[in-house]
Amino acid sequence: MDFFSKKINAIDLLNTPLKYNLHMKEISITTTFSGYDSLQDLPTDIQNLMSYAIEIRKKAYAPYSKFRVGAKSSSR
């Protein structure tokens, strides 16, 4: 019976040294973004998407957090 098919009690797991050699893989994620000073600095197609998202945000339903979000997607 291997590690994943064996039922383990949570207390036993905390009190027992790990006998299995599990190898974890490290993954690095890098993000790059561009910042603009105003909506007019954006390319025209992106300006249209942003304008739509801003309008939709005004209609967002956020009764508890009051954090309204608008989004629009595009497939280029």
> pLDDT tens-digit profile of 38-69?
989 988 988 999 899 999 999 999 999 999 99
pLDDT score at 25: 80
pLDDT score at 55: 93
Whether 50 contacts 42, CB under 8 Å:
yes
Distance CA 58, CA 17 (A): 54
Distance CA 31, CA 50 (A): 20
> pLDDT tens-digit profile of 4-42?
555 666 666 666 666 666 667 888 899 998 888 998 998
pLDDT score at 8: 62
Phi/psi at 61 (5° precision)? -95, 110
pLDDT score at 63: 92
